[in-house]
Amino acid sequence: MGKITGFLDFARQETPERELEVRIADFGEIYRSLSSEELSTQGSRCMDCSVPYCQSGILLHGMTSGCPTHNLIPEWNDLVYRGAWKDALNRLFSTNNFPEFTGRVCPAPCEGSCTAGLHGDAVTIKQIEREIVERGFREGWVQPRPPKYRTGKQVAVVGSGPAGLAAAAQLNSAGHWVTVFERADRPGGLLTYGIPNMKLDKDVVARRVKLMEAEGVRFVCHIEIGVDYAVDGLKPDFDAVVLSIGANKPRDLDLEGRELAGIHFAMDFLRENTRHLLSGDFRRTSISAQEKHVIVIGGGDTGTDCVATALRQGCRGLVQLEVLEANPSERPSDNPWPEYPQVYKVDYGQAEARNRFGQDPRAHTVATKRFIGNNSGMVVGVDTIGVSWKTLANGQRQAIEIPGTEATISGDLVLLALGYLGPEDPLLDRWGVQRNSSSNIQAPYGSFATSIDGVFAAGDARRGQSLVVWAINEGRACARECDRYLMGSTDLP
């Protein structure tokens, strides 16, 4: 694969990004492109490693190792090296409906398990993936491909995030008539309203939706199943239903002062900002960081997106609180390859904040104790305490408060980025869909069948909050089982 000695001859070239001081002035994508020659060189670094863990897509110690869609990474790396871009695109589409999404927002577990990374730097797989599909669009190779025949079967897909879109695309390719219901004003789910524009331009999402419409998929927005469309009407109107409603119930922080104004869930903040951008209304958003001191509670990707968005809105100060310890700078012995490397990194939002304010905004091993308000009922800060972590006899870890580390942090906008607790209740309760102990839809991986005949589930609603690439995996696999249910057999990959 590639140049036999490429991984020895050439260094990894990181994905280029726009200058920090320039990009925080707008919401344009932060990425730049490499030249065809540079990409060919990077593709040549893919070694003939015999067992390509990069495409394994397995869970090791609860972490994703390799690509969940089982992308044929060595094959299209080699094709890019040889200049066979159209062939590379065809290989990429054989396993992934939406490489333009994963090539932008995926944390690249494929690179974490790249064999070249054992004793050096991994291949720039994610960058090559994005460039393959974008070249395909530029060259006109990506065109609508409606099915040649229709089965006459009608399928409803509830939710238009990555799992719903993948299921809809696959079921449509099998010849079924697919209607996608979305309660927001436009399709895309978290791709549209959960991921900021600087990571995934919304024109990229709209481009894919337009292509799917040309292939025969019908999108119906501003319709919430169970509210605007009776739940009981789905079964008579459709031969099968796929639930891909996400896991949008946010985890709260039930502390003194939680009722104060100025405390918001992170996703409400991000959604409002994107809605503001898409509407073309340049007035101040209803949840704005402009001229405010912002406290982000939570250290994951959503917290980073809040940091980056607050900077672009013109915040005056910024701190990000994380109760967990910082990851080590090098892969620890209990986190061996090909597990995803749990190492300290500076993501795009933290890099921008450091450039703007002179330091990384993150404070680790800090627990929030209460919210502080003024006489007008507005939040003005949080009380915190430092913690250390102890491993208990049963293997669980417990945070121990450290006396004397109490502190008060001033802030007039607090954003809670603490993860999610599962899918929202109303639709599932009205329909009586069974759930598991984690409150997710009970639907075994492999069958994706819920407790209701003809109703299937995929994505975060079934597996819990996860990666976009896992959602695509689930949407494709769920479509295969839904097609089998409808036709008695299936040819879907």
- Domains of the chain as residue ranges with CATH: 6-139 (1.10.1060.10), 154-248+421-487 (3.50.50.60), 263-416 (3.50.50.60)
C-alpha 55/C-alpha 48 separation (Å) is 14
Q: Where are the alpha helices (DSSP H) in 113-196?
A: 125-139, 162-173, 190-193
- Token code pair at residue 83: 């200049």
Does this model's pTM top 0.75? My answer is yes
C-alpha 50/C-alpha 21 separation (Å) is 43
CB neighbours of 82 closer than 8 A, spacing ≥ 6? 40
Percent helix, strand, coil in the chain (nearest 5)? Answer: 35, 20, 45
C-alpha 471/C-alpha 162 separation (Å) is 6
Those residues of the chain that have pLDDT short of 70 are 1-2, 282-284
pLDDT of residue 283: 62
On whether the CB atoms of residues 378 and 260 are closer than 8 A, the answer is: yes
The residues pairing with 64 across neighbouring beta strands, listed in sequence order, are 59
Q: How many CA atoms lie within 13 A of 251 on its CB side?
A: 13
Q: How far is CA 213 from the centre of its chain?
A: 23
Tell me: the pLDDT tens digits for 121-179?
999 999 999 999 999 999 999 999 999 999 999 999 999 999 999 999 999 999 999 99
| Whether the bond into 328 is cis, omega within 30 of 0 | no
- Token code pair at residue 488: 């008695």
Strands 362-364 and 317-322: parallel
pLDDT of residue 282: 56
Nearest to 308 by CA among 16, 17, 64: 17
pLDDT of residue 1: 62
C-alpha 130/C-alpha 128 separation (Å) is 5
